[in-house]
Amino acid sequence: MNPKSSECSYWIALNLIPSMTAKKFKLLLEHFQSAEEIWAAPHTRLKEIRAFARYTDDFVRQRSVVDLDAELQRIEKRGLGVITLLDENYPRSLRAIDDPPALLYAKGSYIEKDELAIAIVGTRKPSPYGKLISGKLAKELGALGFTVVSGMALGIDTAAHKGALAAGHRTIAVLGGGFSKIYPSENKNLLEQISTSGAVLSEYPIDMKPDKWTFPKRNRIISGLTRGTIVVEAPDRSGALITARCALEQGREVFAVPGPISDESHSGTHKLIQDGAKLVRNVDDILAEFSDLRKTLEAKRSISKREKEPQLSALEQKIFSVLQFEPIHFNDVIERSGSSTSETSFALLQLVMKELVKELEGKRFAKLP
């Protein structure tokens, strides 16, 4: 919807009222024909709505000081679009949850293809293993046609977005604040990259600062946009577990990637598995839960694999088979492969050039996702 259109302007104005929530908006839409009618409703009419009566005084007081013109200027300055709950291009999967946001500010474009989406979330302080797996899953799921959704936080979120982008796939970021308060600030460039080939969304007014309550509230949108949520690495108190809980409440799938049992940074994901989340070892474990899509997705994967799989020599295949996503020292590669020093060195160089392996400090090597 055009932010300058009359009806859209009223949606934006109502969204600027601090006490307004998605559920209150939904309630009022049951009693009024449009956002414009809600905006113009007198105090007495609002009081007549039993479920809204106790909120009326705050609503009317806050409504009287809303500066809509300033918000419209901010929208225009940042080149944002606005999608309201009643728009045809509002995400269908998100509309289906109990408390969908009344509107979404959008940078980039939300398209029909994004209805097939999956969330990848996790800790902001991941291990190298967590980052590698997050990027690998994003790349492989993107190749199957999934749009990867995450929260653009540092750590697992960033790795998921970058994994999708690096492979040329669509990804969507959902912000925990307004567009003028990007958090973390070091991901401003990532936001621009995502919006060029995907979308960045927020339900919050443009100048809304991220706060400890805005991120948990945001998480229902991440899960609501998707068919399922994958938690890659999360300790017990991780916000990613809130996203997983939202997914369960919304009737969506929950997946968890296991890690070392003694590592506290994986304790949250292990608890999810104990509670019934699907353990993920590879993409096949995810596809198994989407029986309605499996044949189509597997056909896509077969084509993608044939098109992109580099040709490896027998020596390169042998060396590649002993490598893992966790870094391995050069001497261990020699020992496990049974190859000579010169053979191993040559094969690793070829694998690095083919972008299948990366070299790390201390003569260590790891598979790329």
> Could you give the dihedral angle defined by the CA atoms of residues 269, 272, 277 and 279, in that order, rounded to the nearest 10 degrees?
30
pLDDT, residue 299, reads: 62
* Region 158-187 average pLDDT: 95
Is 267 in the same domain as 355? no
Q: Is residue 80 situated within a structural domain?
A: no
Q: Is residue 97 situated within a structural domain?
A: no
Q: Is residue 77 situated within a structural domain?
A: no
Is 144 in the same domain as 253? yes
Is 19 in the same domain as 142? no
* Region 157-165 average pLDDT: 96
Q: What is the pLDDT of residues 254-310, one digit of tens each?
A: 999 999 999 999 999 999 999 999 999 999 999 999 977 766 666 665 555 545 557
* Region 74-90 average pLDDT: 95
Neighbouring-strand partners of residue 82: 105
E strand spans, 220-329: 228-231, 253-256, 278-279, 328-329
* Region 20-38 average pLDDT: 93
Residue 356: give its domain's CATH number: 1.10.10.10
Q: What is the pLDDT of residues 179-231, one digit of tens each?
A: 999 999 999 999 999 999 999 999 999 999 999 999 999 999 999 999 999 99
Domain count of the chain? 3
pLDDT, residue 355, reads: 81
Q: What are phi and psi of 360, to 5 degrees?
A: -115, 175
Q: At 136, is the pLDDT very low, low, confident or very high (cuts 50, 70, 90)? A: very high
Is 267 in the same domain as 286? yes
* Region 340-364 average pLDDT: 89
Q: Is residue 99 situated within a structural domain?
A: no
Residue 134 and residue 159 in contact, taking contact as beta carbons nearer than 8 Å = yes
Is 302 in the same domain as 318? no
Is 223 in the same domain as 186? yes
Q: What is the pLDDT of residues 48-73, one digit of tens each?
A: 999 999 999 999 999 999 999 999 99
Q: Is residue 131 situated within a structural domain?
A: yes
Q: Is the pLDDT confidence value at 346 over 70?
A: yes
Separation CA 107–CA 202 (nearest Å) = 9
Is 137 in the same domain as 169? yes
Q: Is residue 1 situated within a structural domain?
A: yes
For the entire predicted model, the pTM comes to 0.80
E strand spans, 175-269: 199-202, 228-231, 253-256
Is 157 in the same domain as 279? yes
Is 1 in the same domain as 116? no
Residues of the chain with pLDDT > 90, as a percent, come to 83
Is 296 in the same domain as 321? no
**Domain of residue 318, residue span:** 314-367
Q: At 1, is the pLDDT very low, low, confident or very high (cuts 50, 70, 90)? A: low
Q: What is the mean pLDDT of the chain?
A: 92
DSSP summary character for residue 309: P
Residue 142: give its domain's CATH number: 3.40.50.450
Burial 168-207 (b: 16+ CB within 10 A, else e): ebbbbbbbbbbbebbbeeebeebbebbbeebbbbbbbbbe
Is 298 in the same domain as 172? yes
Q: Is residue 297 situated within a structural domain?
A: yes
Q: Is residue 79 situated within a structural domain?
A: no
The last residue of a domain, from among 289, 306, 323: 306
Neighbouring-strand partners of residue 357: 367
pLDDT, residue 326, reads: 86
Q: At 252, is the pLDDT very low, low, confident or very high (cuts 50, 70, 90)? A: very high
Is 297 in the same domain as 173? yes
The last residue of a domain, from among 20, 46, 70: 70
The last residue of a domain, from among 306, 328, 349: 306
pLDDT, residue 178, reads: 97
Separation CA 299–CA 294 (nearest Å) = 8
